[in-house]
Amino acid sequence: MTRIRRAIVATLLLLIVLLSSGCWNRRELNTLGIVGLVGVDACEQGITTTFGIIIPEKSGKSSVGKTEAPPAKYVQASGKTIMDTVRDTSLRFDRKLFLSQAKAFLFSEEIARNGLGEYLDGILRYPEMRLSMHLIIVKDTSAADVMGVASGINIIPSAYMEDIIKQYKVHSTSIDSRVLDFLKASTNNGINPVVTVFKKIKKNKIGEKGMLDEYELTAEGVAVFSKDKLVGFLDGQETRGYNWVIGNVHGATITFPTPGSNAITSVEVFNAESNNDVDITGKEIKLKVNIRMNGMLDEQTSSVNLQDIDSIIESVEQGTSQAIKQEVEHTLLKVQKEYQSDIFGFGQIVHRKYPDKWKTMQDHWNELFSQAIIEVVVQAKVTKTGKSSYPVVK
């Protein structure tokens, strides 16, 4: 190898080392404003977007029992689009916003009623955004208003919200909706989206002054959409009815009057599954929901002795089935008659089972769905009675 060649190769290698040490678009951590939450509210100019920015040095410390400054800062900007407001924050905030770590996108009820599609377009296009972010509709107040609330163990509002959302599997009276789920459902003719709902509620005063969080958030219920427009809400029990239908109940406690007495029985759900079908005969459309559930007797306030196991368990199972059936029928009827929006995906079943009929039905499926006949069958199995066969009450 000649000297000149060696020199060229050495120079090139050095150049590669220099180029490899960082990229053109490098953004050092201390120049970033790491966004945890994004809240969008309507305003005169269009939208006001509130960004919850995590302060990294605060987030590792617990503030339980202390009156420390919160671990997040908030910056707001108004504009016509979300991206417009992202840039606008640079006029007032000393860090460039970094949206890749955002846990959730919150929209106010007003925005949601006008349609979320136009705002989700930016989320789909912008490379920093992730479609796995939680999507939340804020009920009864503005999105910005709930963003500072973190009354759990986790003191970062975004993490607090995410932890609450993820607990839907414990009670099944809420759901975990993500931006991708919304996009999938809102662009499909056979199903409409549902979205997590957050409400800010005042806490009862417990404990000494100064140790209190004044407000807390609840994720009970869901927001019902028709395409990308909000059409209404389901409460907690109705949401569980919805979860029964789509086979999304992972855990819950069913409470119902004990058959043959004035007492109350609670049954814990171990697992559940649903099998939905649609039958079309002439002009009649029948929506069939078949739910199978397996659970354990959790609590009973009666004096029924479970040693007569067969007949008693049978009556508990009947009571459970009846309670689930009522819950599901009530939800189906409400969604059918009040919202006329197929959030359960029966349209997709019609598409799969009756592809030819679907071609003529798909454009007015929600209307057909609202007139369909419902048939709900529930088979509850109670296989365990907890740690006891004998009730405490004599």
Partner 1 sequence: MKNYEKISPIQAILLLSVIRIAIVLLWFEFENQDVWIVQILSLFYVAILCASLLYLGKKYPNQTLIEYLPAIIGKIAAKGLGFLYALFFLFLAALDLSLFDNIIKPINFPATPDFVFVVISLAVCAYSVYNGLECIARSAQFFTPLIFFVVALYAVLQIPDMDFKVFLPILADSTFWEINQRAFLNAARFNEIVVLAMLVPFISKKGETIKIFSWAVITITVYSLIIILPTLAGLGLDVPKKTFDPYYLFIKQINIYDFITRIEFLIVGAWNIGMFLKISLMLHLSITCLVQSFGLKNRKLLILPMILIILIAALQTDLLKSVIVFNIIRIYIPYINLIFMSGIPSLVLAIFFLKNMPMNKK
Q: How far is the CB of 276 from partner 1 (least distance, A)?
A: 12
Binding site for partner 1 (CB under 8 A): 19, 23-25, 124, 127, 130-132, 180, 183-184, 187-188, 348, 351-353, 355-356
Residues in the chain: 394
Nearer to partner 1, 12 or 201 (CB): 12
CA distance 22 to 304: 72
Beta bridge partners of 256: 265
Q: How far is the CB of 225 from partner 1 (least distance, A)?
A: 15
CA distance 376 to 245: 9
Nearer to partner 1, 1 or 23 (CB): 23
Q: How far is the CB of 87 from partner 1 (least distance, A)?
A: 13
Going across the sheet that includes 373-384, the strands are 253-257, 264-281, 284-300, 373-384
List CB contacts of 359: < 8 A, sequence separation 6 or more: none
Q: How far is the CB of 353 from partner 1 (least distance, A)?
A: 8
C-beta separation of 309 from 389 below 8 A: yes
Nearer to partner 1, 325 or 351 (CB): 351
C-beta separation of 54 from 72 below 8 A: yes
Do strands 373-384 and 284-300 pair parallel, antiparallel, or not at all (unpaired)? Answer: parallel
Q: How far is the CB of 313 from partner 1 (least distance, A)?
A: 34
CA distance 194 to 344: 9
Q: How far is the CB of 187 from partner 1 (least distance, A)?
A: 4
HSE, CB side, 13 Å, CA atoms: give it for residue 278.
25
Residue 69: CB atoms within 10 A of its CB come to: 9
Closest Cα partner for 217 from 237, 198, 196?
A: 198
Q: How far is the CB of 5 from partner 1 (least distance, A)?
A: 13
Do strands 194-202 and 134-138 pair parallel, antiparallel, or not at all (unpaired)? Answer: parallel
Nearer to partner 1, 61 or 353 (CB): 353
